[in-house]
Amino acid sequence: MTDSPEVLAAELAALVERVSQIASGGDAIDQLARLELLRSEDAALVGGRDASTLARWAAAAEDEGEPIAIKVGTSWLFVTSRLLDYIERASGLYGRREAETRLRKLIETRAGGQNPNQAARPRARQISNCG
């Protein structure tokens, strides 16, 4: 073992990453429920683009040797952390922060039991019924 600060920092970072992976645990269903895995539609919401654009991003990342998703049938399953990293590489930290904000909004919407694409509809119906 060495006392080099750089080596120790790298070892610590690797351990933190490993503990994080162990702590999240669970299978794919658990990861989907925690939004650690995103369906194409949800990834599109987080990415701020349409699903076909996200599919192109996934294919490009795979070609670059740094996959962010796996194709299942005709759809993609995105690893949330990898998607956010990809967005940061492409759009900088500001783009990542915007995507993280959209992810938090998606998480809050899901916690409330709403479809994020229909979150405003109930209110619109209430307003139209007031007259």
Q: How many domains does the chain have?
A: 2
> What is the predicted pLDDT for the residue at 122?
42
> What is the predicted pLDDT for the residue at 123?
43
Does residue 77 share a domain with residue 113?
yes
List phi, psi (to 5°) of 46.
-65, -45
Does residue 104 share a domain with residue 84?
yes
| Structural tokens at position 122 | 């109930």
List phi, psi (to 5°) of 39.
-70, 160
Closest Cα partner for 61 from 40, 38, 36, 89?
A: 89
C-alpha span between 116 and 97 (Å, rounded):
19
pLDDT class of 4 with cuts at 50, 70, 90? confident
C-alpha span between 42 and 10 (Å, rounded):
33
> What is the predicted pLDDT for the residue at 59?
95
> What is the predicted pLDDT for the residue at 25?
65
Does residue 115 share a domain with residue 55?
yes
Distances in Å between the Cα of 120 and the Cα atoms of 46, 109, 117, 127 are 18, 11, 8, 11
Does residue 44 share a domain with residue 27?
no
Does residue 50 share a domain with residue 21?
no
- For residue 20, give its domain range: 1-33
Does residue 52 share a domain with residue 12?
no
Does residue 39 share a domain with residue 4?
no
> What is the predicted pLDDT for the residue at 73?
87
How do residues 12-43 score in pLDDT, each as one tens digit?
A: 777 766 666 555 666 666 666 666 889 999 99
Angle at 93 between CA 41 and CA 120, to 5 degrees: 40
> What is the predicted pLDDT for the residue at 23?
59
How do residues 46-96 score in pLDDT, each as one tens digit?
A: 999 999 999 999 999 999 999 999 898 888 999 999 999 999 999 999 999
Does residue 77 share a domain with residue 97?
yes
